[in-house]
Amino acid sequence: MSTLLEIIYQGVLEGDQSEVGAGVQNALETNHSPSEILDNALVPAMSEVGSLFEEGEYFVPEMLISARAMQAGMAILKPLLVEGGVEMLGKVVIGTVQGDLHDIGKNLVTMMLEGAGFEVIDLGVDVAPEKFVEAIKDHNPDILCMSALLTTTMASIPVIIEAIEQAGLRTHVKILIGGAPVTQDYADQVGADGFAQDASRAARLATTTLDK
Amino acid sequence: MDFQPDYNHILAVMENKRPKRLPLYEHKISPLVMEEIQGESFAELEQGDDSDLDEFFRQYSRFYKEMTYDTVSFEVTLTRSLPGHGAIYGGMEGPIQNREDFEKYPWDELEERYYAVADRKFAALCKSLPEGMKAFGGIGNGVFEISEDLVGFEKMAYMMADDPELFAELFARIGDLFVALWERFLKNYSEHFAVCRFGDDLGFKTSTLVSPKTIRQHIIPQYARIISRIKKAGKPFIWHSCGKIFTVMDDVIALGIDGKHSNEDTIASFDEWITRYGEKIALLGGIDVDILCQNTPESIFDLVVEKATQYRGMANGYALGSGNSIPEYVPAEGYLAMVKAAQHIRQQEASV
Ligand code: B12
């Protein structure tokens, strides 16, 4: 990794948004391509942040601060990536299911997905089944992510999957689920394509899911 | 059934002793679930005038007695009295985002705002307590939750990085507020409360919400101030906190807490809590909310009889209840099956 990319990488790890912003500018001025900066500095840095979180070195605030730093870099890169016709890794629609207001986990998953190079459309909290169906029609995502933190709201996941099936869209998207009461067994039982217990694993899972 | 409530059973639990009979404990029960079980609607009376409130608490306390509790759980949450409240639910910013907001926030009015609501409720509750029963609770929310409501969880993470001094002052100021609120509470109501508690969710599925270092630096010192007041007033104290908080449990136990509540099976089985901390403090709850929601009343009954018998045997101070609370989405039959299981255990023990 060049020194400039190293600075960006470190800036994300330390959550220093101005360092990342300045680093990205510098890198662009010294002929690093936007996708090189994304793939070789920002994405690996967020992946390292995720590993540190999994290992218990980083906590949610440290992740949020790192994600903000990464976004400072992305804000500069995004228009250039779009201009250059660079495709994002994939498209994800995410939301917390109906009746459920818990959003911290969903927001963190969103940030890690963005950090892994996904375009993410966030439907917010308390999302009705028909909203998920509409969003699949409108955005044609590769992956649908649902977050549920309550036992009762978790029970609406199979309802939503059923609604997606009814709309004839089930084969169009992979479905990943997570949240406090959700387990791998539950994901298998309701016919989701995957489950992850934290945001970092969620981003990895999304990436491997695309390959399937 | 002839049930005589006696809060001394709960006091025994707080002393980390095994009481003569297995007590029930719940952190919160939605009045909507109570209504369904009592067959009378009264939940809305909580918002009414003084006579409505009296009627509300008459029903409320009667419910706890009829369900065979020894104490009536009740708290008045602080968040609702905070101007600009709501960030704790997500989706909005809290009223304090920078130093200017912090300086101009009406800190000095908060105590009066809180008691303008709380005094009426506490007074009506105290009047309603059936013979042999005392209340269990106090001022709802803890230091961390108030910071989440005043700033917002995500914004707080940024404040921690961008303005660490303000972040530190915020926690100290929240601590000052709680000390004032608790001192007044203890002066006016401690006689009617068997046990004081506050709930402050510090954890989630895989760890604490902020680092143990941040908790030790900013939250524990404020807990220490509050808990020392409660203990000085001669009251036992129980801490309710959700999530995987093992990394800070010893720090909080060192503050002299008498008990801990809140557990989820996906994080750790309740026997793990007992094995780790049962020698030092009382542990309450044990039955994951999921169990009460997802099983038939028959299987809940069997499961609770089995688990609660085990927990009562393992722990010193133990009271049976859900791992969190009985929100409105817990089916009344599921909740009742747990209560019946407690009564069944008592009968079995009495007949030996
Ligand atoms: C903070 C919190 C709240 C806050 C929410 C703040 C907010 N803005 O989100 C407030 C105070 C508002 C709240 C309210 C309630 N809560 Co609450 N809450 C919690 C708590 C303590 C932490 C949740 C959290 O923020 N975690 C932090 C994030 C980072 O973690 P996470 O959400 O688990 O997400 C991670 C993973 O699960 C995963 N993930 C999440 N989503 C997804 C999605 C996908 C696709 C993937 C792959 C992965 C993934 O990645 C994330 C990051 O690593 C949990 C305890 C717990 N064990 O989670 C209780 C908990 C979820 N709450 C609970 C309850 C009961 C309630 C209330 C009903 C309380 C009440 N009596 O009123 C209300 C319900 C409100 C509603 N309608 O939604 C119970 C639910 C029990 C159950 N099984 O039903 C819990 C489990 C507590 C317990 N001890 O039992 N709560």
Q: How many domains does chain B have?
A: 1
pLDDT tens-digit profile of A159-187? Answer: 999 999 999 999 999 999 999 999 999 99
With 0.90 as the threshold, say if the pTM is over it: yes
A60 in contact with chain B, both atoms CB, cutoff 8 A: yes
Instruction: Compute CA B304 distance to the chain's CA centroid, rounded to the nearest angstrom.
Output: 21
CB-CB neighbors (< 8 A) of A201 in chain B:
none
CB-CB neighbors (< 8 A) of A181 in chain B:
264, 266, 290
DSSP letter for B62, please: H
Exposure class string for B142-175: b at 16+ Cβ within 10 A, else e: bbbbbbbbbbbbbbbbbbbbebeebbeebbebbb
**What number is the average pLDDT over the span B100-115?**
98
Domain residues for the domain of B74 are 8-351
pLDDT grade for B292, boundaries at 50, 70 and 90: very high
Q: What is the pLDDT of residue B91?
A: 82
**B1: pLDDT strictly greater than 60:** no
How many CB atoms sit inside 10 A of residue B85's CB? 18
**B306: pLDDT strictly greater than 90:** yes
pLDDT tens-digit profile of A120-154? Answer: 999 999 999 999 999 999 999 999 999 999 989 99
Q: Is the CB of B278 under 6 A from ligand 1?
A: no
Q: What is the pLDDT of residue A1?
A: 73
pLDDT tens-digit profile of B138-173? Answer: 999 999 999 999 999 999 999 999 999 999 999 999
CATH number at residue B249: 3.20.20.210
Residue minimizing CA distance to atom 38 of ligand 1:
A198
CB-CB neighbors (< 8 A) of A62 in chain B:
157, 211
Asked whether residue B21 is domain-assigned, the answer is yes
Bridge partners for B139 per DSSP: B76
Which ipTM score applies to this complex?
0.90
Asked whether residue B2 is domain-assigned, the answer is no
pLDDT tens-digit profile of A35-86? Answer: 999 999 999 999 999 999 999 999 999 999 999 999 999 999 989 988 888 8
**B75: pLDDT strictly greater than 90:** yes
Asked whether residue B3 is domain-assigned, the answer is no
Integer Cα distance of B272 and B32 in angstroms: 33
Q: What is the pLDDT of residue A172?
A: 94
Asked whether residue B50 is domain-assigned, the answer is yes
Asked whether residue B101 is domain-assigned, the answer is yes
Strand, helix or coil at A207?
A: helix
Asked whether residue B1 is domain-assigned, the answer is no
Count chain A–chain B contacts defined by CB atoms under 8 A: 67
Contact A181 B156 (CB under 8 A): no
Asked whether residue B124 is domain-assigned, the answer is yes
pLDDT tens-digit profile of A96-126? Answer: 999 999 999 999 999 999 989 999 999 999 9
Task: Please work out, in degrees rounded to the nearest 5, the angle formed at the alpha carbon of residue A75 by the alpha carbons of A73 and A79.
Answer: 120
What mean pLDDT value characterizes chain B? 97
Q: Which of B73, B198, B242 to mutate to test the pocket of ligand 1 (most atoms within 8 A of CB)?
A: B242
Domains of chain A and CATH, by start = 3-83 (1.10.1240.10), 90-209 (3.40.50.280)
Q: Is the CB of A60 under 6 A from ligand 1?
A: yes
**What number is the average pLDDT over the span B320-346?**
97
A36 in contact with chain B, both atoms CB, cutoff 8 A: no
**B270: pLDDT strictly greater than 60:** yes
Asked whether residue B322 is domain-assigned, the answer is yes
Q: What is the pLDDT of residue B2?
A: 76
pLDDT tens-digit profile of B198-233? Answer: 999 999 999 999 999 999 999 999 999 999 999 999
CB-CB neighbors (< 8 A) of B290 in chain A:
151, 181
Give the nearest partner residue to A181 out of B90, B209, B290, using CB atoms: B290
A189 in contact with chain B, both atoms CB, cutoff 8 A: no
Pick the closest to residue B125 from B181, B60, B64 (CA basis).
B60
Q: Is the CB of A102 under 6 A from ligand 1?
A: yes
Distance from CA of A112 to the nearest CA of B (A): 15
Integer Cα distance of A107 and A96 in angstroms: 10
Atom of ligand 1 nearest to the CA of A200: 53
**What number is the average pLDDT over the span B274-297?**
97
DSSP letter for B63, please: H
User: Which residue of A lies nearest to B266 if distances are taken between CA atoms?
Assistant: A181
How many CB atoms sit inside 10 A of residue B338's CB? 28
Integer Cα distance of B77 and B5 in angstroms: 26
